[in-house]
């Protein structure tokens, strides 16, 4: 059985794990292969390095379209300096946008559009000026811009969270601890409380700080976002035992979370407590949740602007660097994404996650050997790290090295102890089933389903496996129907139901469901191949041959190609005399 669904994500780092409780971000789309680089000696410059200003401008536009914003700035600078006139406002606006996306905050602040530009660009320019001022010890300027109201929709929430940090930098003690409020904005509410906690602590108002920290870590699932902040506060106050208990509480929610494991180990060894964030670091943290939320809303360009601001204020933020890679990947800048992921150092809590994303970028680009090599390096360097092991196992599975994938997962599940996460059991069950080890695979899949009895992927996979083997048919058919009811727009799941009808000889219903599946997933070679089989069994042989030919045109894997080619030559064999078709 071919697995066509993405495996469910395992418990990620605390920040990504809990943001869904506040803003429900969606995953960025996979990175695509890099577009060819346009060299700085592009034809627009001519042999002398000087071309028409319009040609340079067009080259800058093309560079921006391909995500090469620093190169675009170079073109726009040369366009401005060229002899032939070009509208300065037009070039300046494009140069401002390129500077924003490239993370050149000082340049963006200098190029910020004036009153003759649209309101959206003016407000973004004002925000860039705030960031530049905060980063370069011009706190009063930052505070005054924020107080002027020039940074408003769509940046009002970010401005509200930055205002206390600007006040603190300017020496305004009361303004620093004023709780920001934007009506109806949950992110401002909770991250404003985090900033207030940190600024109370900065002002040595420890009881008030602890009240805020405790409120944040008691937010249920979203409390995971703040476990490290609260625990670091406890460590700074010399209360290591309480910090360890807090980290343990977080690990019960997110077993294997690298950040929490690192913090717990540090506290247990009585290591040096993390320092209180600086003004710049606090401001950088204030921007980051909005960058994450923008990714979830598919507003990737604004997400890029925000994450660039955060990293300008605090270049050491490794979670922001991973997010930068995600955003660049969503914008098809695969080389930029890889550079961001590769910048996470070995030993960082974010290393395994970054290497996983880096490895998958090569897998998506059909450079599987490179991706597997990176995943293996991370796994061998940190064999006890669950994220590193799961990534390697998943890449082995994606490359149909199922037995090896199962062996890697054996170690992960053994180390988990007790009742392993159902997703681990599901992954190993798939690897075992695909490597021909059905008995242990069935055991894993049943154990996973016991934890998640309504999970559509599990219902579909195990139900289909039973049907394919002629086992527990009534129960299996019910499971597949439940999976389809939960995901009626999934071509793969509707295909499973159609193929289940085919396997039990109900060819009329098989045709109906497989036609529906093809409409939902027209480019899936396996579904088209299945529909051809169903057509053949109901006597529609011309249509059957068309579907098999269609399957061959969709770059099928070798087993489907061989199957379809054989049927185009000879059709399907007659049903055995004992078979009873439902007509």
Tell me, what's the pLDDT at 467? 86
Tell me, what's the pLDDT at 248? 97
Tell me, what's the pLDDT at 64? 87
Q: What is the DSSP string of 428-470?
A: HHHHHHHTT-HHHHHHHHHHHHHH-TT-HHHHHHHHHHHHHTT
The residue assigned the tokens 């340079």 is 56
More confident residue, 62 or 276: 276
Cβ pair 281, 313 in contact under 8 A: yes
Q: How many helices (H) and strands (E) does the chain have?
A: 31, 0
Q: How far is CA 558 from the centre of its chain?
A: 31
In the chain, where are the structural domains located? 489-583
As a whole number, the mean pLDDT across the chain is: 88
List of residues 6+ apart from 46 with CB closer than 8 A: none
Cβ pair 359, 18 in contact under 8 A: no
The sign one gets for the Cα dihedral 91, 97, 99, 102 is negative
The residue assigned the tokens 């030993």 is 347
Whether residue 419 is predicted with pLDDT greater than 90 in this model: the reply is no
Beta strand residue intervals within 322-457, DSSP E: none
Tell me, what's the pLDDT at 290? 95
CA dist 201 and 189 (Å) reads 18
Whether residue 8 is predicted with pLDDT greater than 70 in this model: the reply is no
- Number of alpha carbons in the 13 Å side-chain half-sphere of residue 470: 2
Cβ pair 484, 493 in contact under 8 A: yes
Report residue 570 as tokens: 């000879």
Torsion angle of alpha carbons 323, 129, 105, 202, nearest 10°?
A: -60
Q: Which of 197, 190, 117, 129 is nearest to 160 (CA)?
A: 190
Query: Which fold is adopted by the domain 489-583?
Result: 1.25.40
CA dist 473 and 466 (Å) reads 7
- DSSP state letter for 239: -
Tell me, what's the pLDDT at 84? 54
Least confident of 139-143, 255-259, 260-264, 318-322: 255-259
CA dist 555 and 172 (Å) reads 65
Q: What is the CA radius of gyration of the chain?
A: 28
Cβ pair 325, 357 in contact under 8 A: yes
CA dist 380 and 231 (Å) reads 30
Whether residue 9 is predicted with pLDDT greater than 60 in this model: the reply is no
Tell me, what's the pLDDT at 468? 83
Tell me, what's the pLDDT at 247? 97
Whether residue 12 is predicted with pLDDT greater than 50 in this model: the reply is no
- DSSP state letter for 525: H
Residue 528 CA: distances (Å) to CA of 39, 126, 498, 551, 570: 44, 54, 12, 5, 18
Cβ pair 63, 94 in contact under 8 A: no
Q: Which of 527, 517, 455, 463 is nearest to 486 (CA)?
A: 455
Tell me, what's the pLDDT at 551? 97
* Phi then psi dihedrals of residue 579, to 5 deg: -75, 140
Say if residue 458 is exposed, middle or buried (CB neighbours under 10 Å; 0-12, 13-18, 19+): buried
Average pLDDT (526-531) is 96
- DSSP state letter for 275: P
Residue 188 CA: distances (Å) to CA of 64, 184, 495: 32, 9, 44
Give long-range contacts, CB 8 A cutoff, 24+ apart: 423-429: 423/7, 423/8, 423/9, 423/10, 423/448, 424/10, 424/390, 425/451, 426/7, 426/8, 426/457, 426/458, 426/461, 427/7, 427/390, 427/393, 427/394, 427/397, 429/461, 429/462
Average pLDDT (509-538) is 96
Q: Which of 449, 450, 407 is nearest to 431 (CA)?
A: 407
Q: What is the DSSP string of 285-305?
A: HHHHHHHHHHHHTT-HHHHHH
Length, in residues, of the chain: 583
Give 179-233 pLDDT, tens digit per residue: 999 999 999 999 999 999 999 999 999 999 999 999 999 999 899 999 999 999 9
What is the distance between the terminal CA atoms of the chain, rounded to a whole angstrom? 26
Tell me, what's the pLDDT at 162? 98
CA dist 524 and 517 (Å) reads 9
List of residues 6+ apart from 570 with CB closer than 8 A: none
The residue assigned the tokens 């086992």 is 471
CA dist 164 and 541 (Å) reads 73
Tell me, what's the pLDDT at 85? 60
Tell me, what's the pLDDT at 116? 76
Express as a percent the part of the chain with pLDDT over 90: 70
* Phi then psi dihedrals of residue 413, to 5 deg: -70, -40
Say if residue 417 is exposed, middle or buried (CB neighbours under 10 Å; 0-12, 13-18, 19+): exposed
């Amino acid at each position: 059985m071919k697995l066509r669904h993405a495996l469910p994500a395992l418990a990620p780092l605390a920040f990504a794990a809990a943001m869904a409780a506040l803003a429900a971000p969606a995953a960025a789309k996979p990175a695509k292969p890099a577009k060819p680089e346009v060299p700085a000696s592009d034809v627009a410059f001519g042999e002398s390095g000087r071309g028409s200003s319009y040609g340079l401008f067009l080259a800058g536009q093309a560079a921006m379209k391909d995500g090469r914003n620093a190169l675009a700035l170079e073109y726009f600078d040369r366009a401005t300096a060229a002899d032939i006139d070009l509208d300065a406002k037009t070039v300046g606006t494009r140069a401002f946008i390129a500077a924003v996306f490239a993370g050149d905050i000082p340049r963006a602040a200098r190029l910020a559009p004036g009153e003759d530009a649209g309101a959206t660009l003016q407000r973004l320019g004002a925000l860039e000026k705030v960031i530049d001022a905060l980063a370069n010890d011009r706190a009063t300027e930052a505070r005054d811009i924020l107080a002027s109201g020039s940074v408003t929709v769509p940046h009002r929430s970010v401005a509200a969270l930055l205002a206390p940090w600007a006040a603190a930098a300017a020496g305004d003690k009361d303004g620093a601890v004023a709780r920001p409020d934007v009506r109806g904005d949950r992110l401002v509410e909770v991250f404003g409380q985090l900033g207030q906690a940190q600024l109370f602590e900065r002002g040595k108002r420890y009881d008030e700080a602890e009240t805020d920290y405790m409120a944040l870590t008691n937010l249920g699932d979203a409390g995971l976002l703040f476990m490290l902040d609260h625990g670091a506060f406890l460590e700074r106050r010399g209360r290591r035992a309480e910090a360890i208990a807090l980290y343990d509480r977080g690990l019960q929610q997110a077993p294997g979370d690298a950040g929490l494991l690192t913090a717990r180990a540090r506290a247990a060894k009585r290591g040096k407590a993390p320092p209180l964030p600086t003004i710049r670091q606090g401001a950088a943290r204030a921007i980051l949740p909005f960058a994450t939320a923008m990714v979830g809303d598919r507003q990737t360009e604004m997400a890029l602007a925000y994450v660039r601001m955060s990293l300008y204020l605090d270049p050491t933020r490794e979670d922001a660097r991973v997010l930068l890679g995600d955003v660049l990947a969503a914008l098809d800048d695969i080389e930029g994404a890889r550079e961001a992921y590769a910048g996470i150092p070995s030993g960082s809590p974010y290393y395994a996650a970054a290497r996983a994303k880096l490895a998958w970028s090569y897998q998506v680009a059909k450079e599987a050997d490179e991706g597997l090599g990176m995943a293996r390096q991370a796994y061998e360097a940190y064999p006890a790290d669950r994220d590193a092991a799961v990534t390697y196992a998943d890449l082995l599975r994606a490359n149909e090295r199922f037995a090896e994938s199962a062996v890697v997962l054996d170690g992960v599940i053994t180390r988990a102890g007790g009742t392993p996460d159902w997703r681990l059991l599901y992954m190993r069950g798939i690897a075992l089933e695909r490597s021909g080890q059905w008995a242990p695979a069935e055991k894993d899949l049943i154990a996973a389903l016991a934890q998640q009895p309504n999970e559509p992927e599990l219902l579909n996979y195990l139900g289909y496996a039973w049907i394919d083997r002629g086992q527990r048919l009534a129960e299996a058919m019910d499971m597949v129907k439940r999976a389809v009811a939960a995901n009626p727009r999934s071509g793969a799941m509707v295909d499973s139901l159609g193929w289940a009808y085919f396997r039990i000889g109900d060819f009329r219903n098989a045709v109906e469901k497989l036609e529906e599946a093809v409409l939902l997933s027209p480019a899936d070679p396996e579904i088209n191949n299945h529909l051809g089989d169903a057509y053949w069994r109901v006597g529609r042989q011309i249509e059957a041959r068309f579907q098999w030919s269609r399957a061959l045109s969709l770059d099928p894997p070798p087993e489907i190609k061989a199957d379809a080619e054989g049927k185009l030559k000879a059709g399907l064999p007659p049903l055995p005399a004992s078979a009873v078709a439902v007509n």
